[in-house]
């Protein structure tokens, strides 16, 4: 199992708008392709960020699922045009669980 941690920096004052948009429009679509492990937003430290972690069987599975998502017309028409303008930047990391990790 691998995990992808995605950190999005949101335009100042738009974090709750982005979270609501993602919950209502984005999550139902992306959930067809990936399993959400957790979703957070920041209150201390670097502000205006959302962090989410997704689970995949392998890097190959991730590549297949991401390709399918990027071809999904519902994603392209109902979420991307509304979500992208709210973002400042994005970071993605692939995480591998250590042998003793409670999440594997």
Alpha-helix runs per DSSP H in 1-104: 15-21, 27-30, 59-69, 73-78, 80-83
Does residue 76 fall inside a structural domain? yes
Does residue 49 fall inside a structural domain? yes
Confidence of residue 91 (pLDDT cuts 50, 70, 90): very high
Count other Cβ atoms within 10 Å, centred on residue 27: 14
Count other Cβ atoms within 10 Å, centred on residue 64: 14
Given the structure tokens 């335009």, which residue do they identify?
11
Looking at the 3D structure of the chain, how many domains does it have?
Answer: 1
Q: Is the pTM of this model over 0.75?
A: yes
Does residue 101 fall inside a structural domain? no
pLDDT single digits (tens) 5-22: 999 999 999 999 999 999
pLDDT single digits (tens) 38-83: 999 999 999 999 999 999 999 999 999 999 999 999 999 999 999 9
- Structural domain that includes position 77: 2-96
The CATH number of the domain holding residue 18 is 3.30.70.100
Does residue 72 fall inside a structural domain? yes
DSSP lists the bridge partners of residue 55 as: 3, 35
CA atoms of 44 and 96, how far apart (whole Å): 26
Q: How many residues does the chain have?
A: 104
Does residue 34 fall inside a structural domain? yes
Does residue 102 fall inside a structural domain? no
CA atoms of 77 and 86, how far apart (whole Å): 16
Cα–chain-centroid distance for residue 6?
A: 5
Judged by phi (left if over 0) then psi (alpha if -120 to 50, else beta), residue 9 lies in: beta
């Amino acid at each position: 199992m691998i995990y992808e941690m995605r950190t999005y920096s949101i335009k100042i004052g738009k974090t709750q708008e982005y979270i609501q948009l993602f919950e209502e429009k984005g999550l139902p679509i992306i959930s067809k392709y990936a399993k959400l492990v957790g979703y957070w937003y920041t209150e201390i430290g670097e502000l205006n960020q959302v962090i989410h972690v997704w689970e995949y069987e392998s890097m190959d599975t991730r590549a297949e699922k991401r390709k399918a998502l990027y071809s999904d017309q519902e994603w392209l028409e109902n979420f991307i045009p509304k979500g992208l303008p709210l973002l400042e930047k994005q970071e993605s990391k692939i995480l591998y669980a250590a042998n003793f990790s409670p999440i594997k």
